[in-house]
Amino acid sequence: GAGVFGNVVRATDAARSNTHVAVKIIRNNEVIVQQ
Protein backbone atom coordinates (compact mmCIF):
# COMPACT_ATOMS: atom_id res chain seq x y z
CA GLY A 1 0.00 0.00 0.00
CA ALA A 2 0.90 3.66 0.15
CA GLY A 3 2.62 3.21 3.51
CA VAL A 4 5.00 0.59 2.14
CA PHE A 5 5.90 2.76 -0.85
CA GLY A 6 6.41 5.74 1.43
CA ASN A 7 8.96 3.82 3.52
CA VAL A 8 10.77 2.59 0.42
CA VAL A 9 10.92 6.11 -1.01
CA ARG A 10 12.43 7.53 2.17
CA ALA A 11 15.02 4.77 2.44
CA THR A 12 15.98 4.99 -1.23
CA ASP A 13 16.01 8.79 -1.26
CA ALA A 14 18.59 8.77 1.53
CA ALA A 15 21.00 6.69 -0.57
CA ARG A 16 20.11 7.73 -4.14
CA SER A 17 19.03 10.79 -6.09
CA ASN A 18 15.40 11.87 -6.31
CA THR A 19 15.34 11.03 -10.03
CA HIS A 20 16.00 7.32 -9.43
CA VAL A 21 13.35 7.27 -6.72
CA ALA A 22 10.75 8.87 -8.99
CA VAL A 23 11.42 6.41 -11.81
CA LYS A 24 11.15 3.46 -9.43
CA ILE A 25 7.82 4.70 -8.08
CA ILE A 26 6.40 5.18 -11.58
CA ARG A 27 7.40 1.64 -12.60
CA ASN A 28 5.88 0.16 -9.44
CA ASN A 29 2.62 2.05 -10.01
CA GLU A 30 2.42 0.76 -13.60
CA VAL A 31 2.81 -2.83 -12.40
CA ILE A 32 0.00 -2.38 -9.87
CA VAL A 33 -2.34 -0.90 -12.49
CA GLN A 34 -1.69 -3.81 -14.86
CA GLN A 35 -2.55 -6.33 -12.14
Specify the long-range contacts of residues 21-30, CB closer than 8 Å, at least 24 apart. Answer: none
pLDDT in the model for residue 1 = 46
pLDDT in the model for residue 27 = 72
Low-confidence spans in the chain with pLDDT less than 50: 1
**Residue 13 host element (H or E):** helix 2-15
Q: How far apart are the first and last CA of the chain?
A: 14
pLDDT in the model for residue 22 = 63
Domain boundaries of the chain, sorted by first residue: 2-34
| Angstrom distance (rounded) from CA 17 to CA 14 | 8
